């Protein structure tokens, strides 16, 4: 059993509002949304953070981005646009150490990333 909260969601040990799933990727609603649409995309394989990806993860990283676009289209935020964010390690503000991308949309965001 893993101590990682996102691995627990993958293993269905804790609940989440899952919006997308394929062989490599899971996406679910963020429990504390900061925008009208706030979805987290994670690899099913545990990777701690973006610095831990390897050459072998190229396909996975591509699949995560394709999934983000597919979800954006499905929830109706693709035309107006959205933000896909990764918080990497301490200075990037990462709290959960299982690689994830935030899909943020449903309102106009500031042109510059927040500080």
Instruction: Just list the catalytic residues.
Output: 100
Q: Residue 7 interacts with Zn ion (CB under 5 A)? A: yes
Report the partner that residue 7 touches, choosing among Zn ion, ligand AMP, none (CB closer than 5 to 8 A by kind).
Answer: Zn ion
Assigned token pair, 9: 């969601």
Residue 52 contacts by C-beta under 8 Å, 6 or more apart in sequence? 99
Q: 80 near 47, Cβ under 8 Å?
A: no
Site for Zn ion in 56-115 (CB under 5 A): 98
Where does this chain bind ligand AMP (CB under 6 A)? Answer: 5, 16, 30-32, 40, 87, 93-96
Site for Zn ion in 22-51 (CB under 5 A): 46
3-state secondary structure of 22: coil
Q: Which of 38, 19, 53, 46 shows the shortest CA–CA distance to 102?
A: 38
Cβ of residue 38: shortest distance to ligand AMP, in angstroms? 7
Binding site for Zn ion (CB under 5 A): 4, 6-7, 46, 98
């Amino acid at each position: 059993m893993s101590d990682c909260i996102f691995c627990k969601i993958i293993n269905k040990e804790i609940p989440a509002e899952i919006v997308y799933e394929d062989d490599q990727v899971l996406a679910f609603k963020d429990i504390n949304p900061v925008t009208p649409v706030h979805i987290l995309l994670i690899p099913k394989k545990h990777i701690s953070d973006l610095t831990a990806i390897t050459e072998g993860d190229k396909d996975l990283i591509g699949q995560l981005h394709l999934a983000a676009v597919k979800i954006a289209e499905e929830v109706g935020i693709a035309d107006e646009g959205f933000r896909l964010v990764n918080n990497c390690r301490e200075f990037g503000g990462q709290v959960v150490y299982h690689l994830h991308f935030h899909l943020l949309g449903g309102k106009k965001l500031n042109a510059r990333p927040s500080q």
